[in-house]
Amino acid sequence: MRFIGGLIVVIAVVFVAVMGFYWMRDGSLQSAGREMDKDLSGLDRTTQPLQDAVGNVGEATKETVGRATDGDDRT
């Protein structure tokens, strides 16, 4: 639990730092938010192959468990 809490804190601090950088550079929170949205959507497109691969692994795991239990959820 300590690890997850630390991870959340690190993500929050990085987000605030990046948002503060854009705010100081652009001079307004509105333009800082717009810039942050643009960068985050670019990150989403960059990681799309990884997202597809993780989805495929999840589906393969689901099929393997289904075959191993023959569809019987009690086992």
Query: What pLDDT does 4 receive?
Result: 92
Q: Give the separation between CA 15 and CA 36, rounded to whole angstroms.
A: 9
Query: What pLDDT does 12 receive?
Result: 94
- Mean pLDDT per 10-residue interval, the chain, length 75 residues: 91 90 87 84 78 81 79 59
Query: What pLDDT does 11 receive?
Result: 93
Phi then psi dihedrals of residue 42, to 5 deg: -65, -40
Query: What pLDDT does 62 receive?
Result: 82
User: Could you state, in order of their start, the residue ranges of all structural domains in the chain?
Assistant: 1-34
Instruction: Find where tokens 């997202």 sit.
Output: 51
Query: What pLDDT does 71 receive?
Result: 58
